[in-house]
Amino acid sequence: MDNNIKLLLGITDPNLTIDPKYQYTSYIEEKIIKNSKTLLCHLYLSYPMYCPNCKALMLHNGTKVANNVHLSSAGKKLVLSIRKQKYLCPECKKTATAKFKDTNYHDHFSNAVKAKLVRDLSLSRPMCEIAADSFTSSNTIIRSLESVENNFKVNRNWLPSHLSLDDFKSGKRFSSSGMSMCLINAVNHRIIDIIPERNNKFLRNYFIQYSYKARLSVLTITVDLYAPYRSLIKKLFPNAFIIADKFHVVAQAYTAMNKIRTRVMKEYGAGTHEYRALKRFWKLLLKNQDNVDYHRYYPRINFKYAELSDSEVLDRLSDMSSELKTAYEYYQLLLQMYRKNSCQSLNLLIDTSSWNLPPEMRQALKTIKKHKAEIENSFVLPRLTNGPIEGINNHIKVIKRIAYGYNNFKHFRLRILLSLKNNVIFFST
């Protein structure tokens, strides 16, 4: 067997050669084994061996055949049928067998197969598909997944200066609330750990395992508006400022704006001109005012084909309801506040005497009042948001969906950490 064939097959053991028994015939044959086409490659493994006990040169003492599943070739299962040399020490009568360097002791799968399985687990593929592609079983896939667990041990003596926390739906199997927690570095967006529960008792027991020095090093924590996190953060991270994630603040106003538009539509009744206009241009009402087109004019079917720009359509929609107009102005001021990181705009939003808000928008006002200090913190460090962690949560949903759920949280966590290339622990196969 020359080096080119070894390179193509991914074999690194220099002592492996073609079996002399098949020297004048093809050493690769195709067989049907367990209803699947299998390529059987007949090889021979032998090298001078010295007795580990008395250091004497050992004598040949027959051979034994061992089959090792290797990387598939041409879409077919490839099995290395290796005839291994057996040895006998002439001095102490100790026996031994030649060892194949590309396979661990007592393993039937080569290291190249196991490395491929780990690489495939980092992709968005179901385990049954990976198993079928590699001609292995689901149990082999699970063992390969568990083999990398030590690579993802958390360092309890270190935490980044800027943390970001967010929950995601994991299911009732792992959590009483059905929600688990993702923890990342808010600056470089590297994942730190996946936590099974989000309740205060569990989180306290989890973070208390980190050294006090590590917790003191945390300067900011970016979280959503879930109230129970606040008291816990203040106790466990004395030096940390809480930053309210702007997405969740804006999302409340966005939802309220949509509810007001729907209510006004229903008040006018189905079939009316106002109902159709508010339904057709709902995206325009929620659009950032800076992105509204003031220059291009189009014939609008809902306004008797009048040539109107987007800004003029907005003016006509606002005139349909005073509540809608007030809510729109409030919503746009909120967007402007985050655009300019303006404390002046924040104070204006909180000033209730300036606004006669509809009931749906008052919840957004209440939220802004409650988290005023945390919103001001977000103006100081505007780049620290939960946007990256929301993207990670979407990726986790895909992992869950392709597997049709998980019964074991350890396997679920490892699959997430393997799939995310930007995790805090460097892992390479």
Q: What is the pLDDT along the chain (429 residues), one digit of tens a residue?
A: 677 778 877 888 899 999 998 877 888 888 887 777 899 999 999 999 999 888 899 999 999 999 999 988 888 899 999 999 999 999 999 999 999 999 988 888 999 999 999 999 988 889 989 998 888 888 999 999 999 888 888 889 999 999 999 999 998 888 888 999 999 999 989 999 999 999 999 999 999 999 999 999 999 999 999 888 999 999 999 999 999 999 999 999 999 999 999 999 999 999 899 999 999 999 999 999 999 989 999 999 889 899 999 999 999 999 999 999 999 999 999 999 999 999 999 999 998 877 889 999 998 899 999 999 999 999 999 999 999 999 999 999 999 998 888 889 999 999 999 988 665 444 433
Q: Helix (H, G, I), strand (E, B), or coil: what is residue 386?
A: coil
Nearest residue to 126 (alpha-carbon basis) of 396, 398, 402: 402
Residue 215: partners with Cβ closer than 8 Å, 6 or more residues away: 159, 207, 236, 237, 238
Helix intervals (H) in 147-245 = 200-207, 212-216, 228-236
Distance CA 150, CA 212 (A): 24
Q: Which amino acid type is present at position 244? A: A
CB 76 within 8 A of CB 38: yes
Strand partners, 109: 69
CA distances from 277 to 266, 324, 331, 370 (A): 12, 14, 20, 36
Token pair 């606004």: residue: 355
The 3-state secondary structure of 207-234 reads HCCCCHHHHHCCCEEEECCCCHHHHHHH
For 154, other C-beta atoms within 10 Å of its C-beta total 15
Helix intervals (H) in 138-196 = 138-146
Q: Which amino acid type is present at position 376? A: E
Q: In the chain, where are the structural domains located?
A: 3-108, 110-147, 152-245+385-419, 247-380
Query: What is the third-level CATH fold of 152-245+385-419?
Result: Nucleotidyltransferase; domain 5 (3.30.420)
The radius of gyration of the chain's CA atoms, rounded to the nearest angstrom, is 32
Token pair listed for 166: 């967010």
Single pTM value for the model: 0.82
CB 36 within 8 A of CB 135: yes
CB 52 within 8 A of CB 94: yes
